[in-house]
Structure 1
Amino acid sequence: MKTYSEAELTAQPIGYWTGAAYRAVVGRIRAELAVEQLTQPHWWILNHVAGAPGRWERGGLTERLTPFDDQGTDFAAVFDDLEGRGWVVRAGDGSLTLSEVGEQGRLRARERNMRAHEEMHKGITPQEYAATLTILRRVIDNLGGDSDLP
């Protein structure tokens, strides 16, 4: 990676760089998930259901995840897909759990994402990463956005 002076870097537009980082990071994550024929909303659902079996139902989980969606996702179709695959099971009361095959698929996708995250963090110390997030949160807060952790 080429190095630049502090003056050159501070003259750069943060909007460009945060957008470029977003496209690179999310593009990589989406590519890894696609190997399992999953989208990010599939991934979010699988992880929420795995983390709290029987706690979530479709409506509540859709409400929880919609603020993170930037693709206009039809969550009903994603739930239908996961249930159709037999990965998510809906009980009579509407609560959701993962099947064994669903958990196996989630773990495969998790492993792929972990490798991608390791690659993303290469050459970055935990302190640098935390400082970067703190700065981005400050920018968001300065502009009146929600800087709390999800």
Structure 2
Amino acid sequence: MTIKEYTQEQLAAQPIGYWSGEAYRAVVGRIRAELAVEQLTQPHWWTLNHVAGAPGRWSRTQLAERLAPFDDLDIDFGEVFDDLVARGWMSEQADTLSLTEAGEAGRLRAKERNARAHEQMHQGIATEDYVAALNVLRRMIANLGGNSDLP
């Protein structure tokens, strides 16, 4: 895919808020669309990945606290956890959460869909350029007093 070329002066005059917002809407919109194929939301996805990464480690409270910084929709994580348990994708024993075989299978299907989306997003972008873009955004966040550390 080709994109129209502009001068450095034209690009330097562009508002970062607009472009970061457009990038957010395009990237998150695509991820959400891929997850929806499995009837998942981003909070479902975050939950599945955290529980898969540390089976039997997370209580509901601990996991909700861990996921809260990623949430921009005021999600009730208890409802997300309940949904995954009701689907048979997650179990709860001794106050800790674990994925079931069905949950791991669903997570892997969603992971594959997301991998294809990420591959498309990164087409034509060198790793060095991607890293440079992230570092510019991190610097802007830090300049404004935000947390620029990796999640």
Q: Normalised by the size of structure 1, how large is the TM-score?
A: 0.98
Aligned partner of 1:2 in structure 2 is 4
- Indicate yes or no: 2:26 matched with 1:49: no
State the SS of the aligned residue for 1:64. helix
Aligned partner of 2:76 in structure 1 is 74
The one-letter code matched in structure 2 to 1:78 is V
State the SS of the aligned residue for 1:124. coil
Question: Which one of the candidate residues 66, 76, 84 is aligned to 2:86?
Answer: 84
Aligned partner of 1:65 in structure 2 is 67
State the SS of the aligned residue for 1:97. strand
CA deviation after TM superposition for structure 1 residue 72, in Å:
1.1
State the SS of the aligned residue for 1:36. coil
- Indicate yes or no: 2:118 matched with 1:117: yes
CA deviation after TM superposition for structure 1 residue 35, in Å:
0.2
Q: Normalised by the size of structure 2, how large is the TM-score?
A: 0.98
Aligned partner of 2:145 in structure 1 is 144
Cα distance in 1 for partners of 2:79, 2:58 equals 17
Runs of 4+ in 1 over 3 A off after TM superposition: none
Provide Cα deviations, 1:33-60, integer angstroms capped at 9, x if missing partner: 0000000000000000000000001100
Root-mean-square deviation (Å)? 0.4
The one-letter code matched in structure 2 to 1:4 is Y
State the SS of the aligned residue for 2:6. coil
Aligned partner of 2:98 in structure 1 is 97
Cα distance in 1 for partners of 2:80, 2:116 equals 25
Unpaired runs of at least 5, structure 1 = none
Cα distance in 1 for partners of 2:98, 2:75 equals 21
The one-letter code matched in structure 2 to 1:104 is A
